[in-house]
């Protein structure tokens, strides 16, 4: 009989890619995670990990079992949700992108029942942590169309227009680093408009870039939501980013998760900066 707790560790490993990351997410030591996965290999009767002195990767059998583990964990979560009936208590961890955190946080503190933990992750990290069950709801942005994900349910929160903030003829343009999700579409918009800045600076954080634009340092392509607290001239680009609330398919009937999700969907006062759903 395969033990559920060890299957969960294998599922974490498949999502995160390293024993150290699994240890950090679960509170176990790396050696304990490695030992539990070794026990799971004995239970399964096949090698699940291909280990080297510095790393480990899933074998083909490990990949197959990890997919089964995801199915089993989803079924367990669905069973727990069914038994919970109308119980909205418990600890719910929600992840959100920074520009939305300041909008949803005031609404979440008014919710009675669940204990809320709010964290800030972006892009793939948030979705990986959602799949590995570190978080229960992920509020993420999509700068380009997103393919359907069978294990996840997305609900559109808002469409956030992208604008040129600051003088469009400013010689200095501010952008996010290349590994940030906004960078590609920003460069596309700049190229479409024939922008060839003499200087281009890179800064992490949309609010940081917005504050620099407000200080007259340069211009930038930014979501309208990032400009909520600054007063700068803007020029429409005809582009937008989509902001979604994402949950696991297995938690769609979990009352506490749905209570928090409803608060985010129906109570978030995004204001005139973007179009709420």
The residue ranges of every structural domain in the chain are: 4-84, 91-150+245-276, 160-241
| Total-model pTM | 0.75
**Cα 149–chain centre separation:** 14
**Which residue is listed with tokens 């909205």?**
88
pLDDT of 81 above 50: yes
Class of domain 4-84: mainly alpha
Alpha-carbon separation of residue 206 from 93, 102, 106, 132 (angstroms): 23, 13, 20, 27
Q: Give bridge partners of residue 116 from the DSSP assignment.
A: 92
pLDDT of residue 119: 92
Highest mean pLDDT among 192-201, 215-224, 250-259: 215-224
**Band of residue 116 on the pLDDT scale cut at 50, 70, 90:** very high
Asked if the domains at 4-84 and 91-150+245-276 fall in one CATH topology, the answer is no
How many percent of the chain have pLDDT more than 70? 93
Domain 160-241 maps to which CATH number in 2.60.120.10, 1.20.1640.10, 3.30.465.10, 3.40.190.10? Answer: 3.40.190.10
Bridge partners of 191, per DSSP, are none
CB burial of residue 204 (10 Å; 0-12, 13-18, 19+):
exposed
Q: What is the pLDDT of residue 44?
A: 92
CA nearest to 15, candidates 126, 155, 95, 96? 126
**91-150+245-276 fold:** D-Maltodextrin-Binding Protein; domain 2 (3.40.190)
Give residue for tokens 């719910």.
92
Q: Identify which of 250, 220, 242 has the alpha carbon closest to the alpha carbon of residue 232.
A: 220
- Residue/partner pairs of 269-275 with CB below 8 Å, 24 or more apart: 269/103, 269/107, 270/103, 270/157, 270/158, 270/225, 271/228, 273/160, 273/224, 273/225, 273/227, 273/228, 274/158, 274/159, 274/160, 274/161, 274/223, 274/224, 274/225, 274/243, 275/158, 275/159
């Amino acid at each position: 009989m395969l033990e559920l707790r060890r299957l969960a560790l294998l599922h974490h490993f498949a999502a995160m890619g390293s024993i150290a990351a699994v240890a950090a997410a679960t509170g176990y030591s790396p050696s304990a995670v490695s030992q539990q996965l070794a026990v799971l290999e004995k239970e399964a009767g096949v090698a699940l990990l291909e280990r080297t002195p510095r790393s480990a990767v899933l074998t083909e059998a490990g990949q197959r079992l990890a997919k089964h583990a995801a199915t089993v964990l989803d079924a367990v979560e669905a069973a727990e949700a069914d038994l919970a009936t109308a119980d909205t208590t418990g600890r719910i961890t929600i992840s959100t992108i920074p520009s939305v955190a300041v909008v949803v946080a005031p609404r979440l503190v008014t919710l009675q029942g669940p204990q809320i933990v709010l964290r800030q992750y972006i892009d793939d990290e948030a979705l990986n942590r959602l799949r590995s069950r570190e978080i229960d709801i992920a509020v993420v942005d999509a700068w380009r169309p997103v393919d359907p994900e069978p294990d996840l349910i997305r609900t559109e929160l808002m469409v956030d227009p992208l604008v040129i903030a600051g003088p469009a003829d400013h010689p200095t343009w501010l952008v996010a680093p290349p590994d940030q999700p906004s960078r590609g579409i920003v460069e596309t918009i700049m190229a479409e408009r024939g922008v060839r800045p003499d200087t281009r600076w890179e800064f992490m954080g949309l609010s940081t870039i917005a504050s620099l634009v407000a200080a007259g340092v340069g211009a930038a392509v930014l979501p309208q939501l990032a400009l909520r607290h600054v007063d700068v001239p803007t020029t429409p680009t005809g582009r937008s980013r989509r902001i979604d609330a994402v949950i696991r398919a297995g938690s769609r009937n979990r009352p506490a998760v749905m209570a928090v999700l409803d608060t985010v969907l129906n109570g978030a006062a995004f204001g005139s900066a973007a179009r709420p759903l």
